[in-house]
């Protein structure tokens, strides 16, 4: 029986579904960390943030796998300027193995999904179970596995979020983004027993707006759901054309914006039991200043 099936069968309508317990760190071995990059609403920057985070972790020396979990509207490869293909179809049908489908760039590995595949559309495959089985089979090869999860509260998205060790909920100051993110947290808590998440505010205009979103969500989630929200920080909106945004966002240039993003990421890895310093572009201290809180 697949590990996924065992995990899912531990659930019944009378009790919460719990993520599998993680073995203790022994002999200096640090288990792979699984992080879902998620949100209640589309268009909040999840994919760009997932790509940026995966690239930075890889650059810091961590073996990192990013899985695009949008089964038939995959766009991670598009943002990297890679040609589209539907090799993932062959992985689903067992005509190809993981190593033949995954894109490898040093420590950064990407598993894109499909784009407009009729076969995937018409299949009855439970995509979330396939993803979890892939993770179970390969997590020993990585330090971090990131999931670029579909937005919203579909069964598949909720299951993938619940399976991960951490959930980064990406929110913009838009009211619908805030409301939908609350709904996501609520369903994860009531249906899956998830009592802790991380929050990242994207595309905020000023400090007052940032603080308002943080306060509104964290207080409401704590008071009504009893769920803890760890605030990762925020990414300030930049005036870049839509055509040039991905080039700017995914650039490795040693800009102040880049350093601030790294400081945000360093804050997470430090608290997560990672190294004492995340060495990327010389940024070795966490700071809440300039464009990233």
Q: What percent of the chain has pLDDT over 90?
A: 55
In the chain, the domains with their CATH numbers are 32-271 (3.40.50.300)
Are 142 and 17 in contact, with CB atoms under 8 Å apart? no
pLDDT of amino acid 257: 75
pLDDT of amino acid 277: 42
Rounded-to-integer distance, Cα 47 and Cα 235, Å: 14
pLDDT of amino acid 120: 79
pLDDT of amino acid 273: 63
Are 194 and 227 in contact, with CB atoms under 8 Å apart? yes
pTM, to two decimals = 0.84
**Mean pLDDT, 10 residues at a time, the chain of 293 residues:** 53 40 44 96 93 93 95 85 84 91 96 84 86 96 96 94 97 97 97 96 95 97 97 89 78 76 86 54 37 49
Are 87 and 96 in contact, with CB atoms under 8 Å apart? yes
Rounded-to-integer distance, Cα 167 and Cα 230, Å: 10
Concatenating the DSSP letter of every residue in 197-219 gives: EEEEEEEE-SHHHHHHHHHHHHH
pLDDT of amino acid 7: 52
């Amino acid at each position: 029986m697949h590990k996924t099936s065992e995990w899912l069968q531990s659930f019944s309508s009378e009790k919460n579904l719990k993520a599998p317990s993680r073995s203790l760190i022994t002999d200096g071995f640090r288990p792979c960390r699984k992080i879902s990059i998620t949100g209640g609403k589309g268009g909040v920057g999840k994919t760009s943030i997932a790509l940026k985070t995966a690239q930075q972790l890889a650059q810091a020396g961590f073996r990192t796998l990013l899985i695009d979990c949008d089964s038939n509207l995959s766009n991670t490869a598009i943002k990297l300027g890679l040609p589209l293909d539907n090799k993932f179809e062959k992985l689903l049908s067992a005509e190809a193995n993981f190593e033949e489908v995954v894109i490898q760039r040093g420590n950064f590995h990407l598993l894109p999904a499909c784009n407009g595949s009729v076969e995937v559309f018409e299949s009855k495959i439970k995509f979330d179970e396939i993803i979890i089985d892939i993770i179970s089979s390969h997590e020993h090869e990585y330090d971090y596995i990131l999931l670029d999860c579909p937005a919203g509260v579909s069964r598949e998205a909720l299951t993938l979020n619940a399976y991960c060790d951490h959930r980064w909920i990406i929110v913009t100051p838009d009211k619908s983004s805030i409301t939908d993110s609350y709904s996501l947290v609520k369903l994860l808590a009531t249906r899956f027993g998830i009592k802790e998440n991380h929050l990242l505010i994207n595309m905020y205009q000023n400090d007052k707006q940032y603080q308002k979103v943080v306060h509104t969500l964290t207080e409401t989630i704590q008071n009504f759901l009893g769920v803890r929200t760890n605030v990762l920080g925020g990414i300030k909106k930049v005036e870049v054309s839509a055509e040039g945004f991905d080039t700017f966002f995914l650039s490795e240039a040693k800009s102040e914006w880049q350093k601030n993003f790294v400081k945000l990421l360093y804050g997470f890895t430090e608290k997560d039991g990672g190294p004492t310093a995340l060495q990327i572009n010389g940024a070795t201290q966490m700071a809440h200043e300039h464009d990233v809180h």
